Amino acid sequence: MKRLPLDDSFKVNRNPITLREIVLDKLRSAIMNFQLMPGDRLVERDLCERLGVSRTSVREALRHLESEGLVEFADAKGPRVAIITLEDACDIYELRCVLEGLIVQLFTLNAKAKDIRALERALEENRRVLEEGELQQVIDSVQGFYDVLLEGSGNHIAATQLRQLQARISYLRATSVSQANRRGASSKEMERMVEAIKSGDPLAAHQASVDHVRAAAKVALDYLKSKQDETGTVREIATPIALKEPRIGR
């Protein structure tokens, strides 16, 4: 019998998106869109029935969301949607001030012309989505804007640190932009940031970034305070001490 050549039909067709990733995305979106609220119990059996998948897929997704800080295994009752306390939120916003301020400064110093054009396109897309988009579209659009900044900053360690916080940052961002009048203010703050970057002023860009984070923090923390039975005053988000111009060369 003559040997037939192996053709393209021999290839294994791989789905680039695995079932685990689909389940993960569904659960993450439900948390971000407040369909699953902080403290809600995540019963594997119920999730399997609603998603139409196996317990293994659900269990793997929950463990991944735990690593992102969106799910917690707090007690013997099993996993639940993580509760981000006022103290947690303050810590995250303070770290955002430092890391995002640095990223914006470095982007101003190191970005190439193509990076500036990409940032302008991301800003325009974000402006459009803030005016008419659904909450998840807003979160995705803002993340697209920051992805451009992270890539163009040249500091991969700072970018990695910020990405490790991304899920909790996005949750708090969803909390702030869902409040009345926040979208318009956020758009103007980001426009100010881009204008400072385009003018080549790293300190002005840094300040615009810090002001943006502080404004978002106030809205989100006021909301969290109203929803959590906390006493006392929400602590102010500290302005980073180091406002000096960062290194120019790498």
Q: 16-81: what fold?
A: Arc Repressor Mutant, subunit A (1.10.10)
pLDDT at 242 over 50: no
For residue 239, name the pLDDT band (cuts at 50, 70, 90). very low
Q: Which of 62-66, 139-143, 164-168, 240-244 has the lowest mean pLDDT?
A: 240-244
Q: 86-227: what fold?
A: Four Helix Bundle (Hemerythrin (Met), subunit A) (1.20.120)
The beta-carbon contacts of 29-35 under 8 Å, at least 24 apart in sequence, are: 29/136, 31/65, 31/70, 31/71, 31/81, 31/171, 32/135, 32/136, 32/139, 32/170, 32/171, 32/174, 33/135, 33/136, 33/174, 34/174, 34/178
DSSP 41: B
pLDDT tens digits for range 129-177: 988 888 889 999 999 999 999 999 999 999 999 988 988 998 999 889 8
pLDDT tens digits for range 98-137: 999 999 999 999 999 999 999 999 999 999 998 888 888 9
Task: Write out the E strands in 31-135.
Answer: 71-75, 78-81
Tokens (6 digits) for 32: 């971000």
- The proportion of the chain whose per-residue pLDDT surpasses 90, expressed as a percent, equals 58
pLDDT at 246 over 80: no
Q: 0.85 cut: is pTM over it?
A: no
What span, in angstroms and rounded, lies between the C-alpha atoms of 22 and 190?
A: 31
* Three-state secondary structure call for residue 33: coil
pLDDT for res 2: 46
pLDDT at 50 over 50: yes
8 Å CB contact between 97 and 240: yes
Average per-residue pLDDT in the chain? 85
Would you list the domain boundaries of the chain? 16-81, 86-227
8 Å CB contact between 149 and 103: yes
pLDDT for res 15: 54
- In this prediction, residues 188-216 reach a mean pLDDT of 96
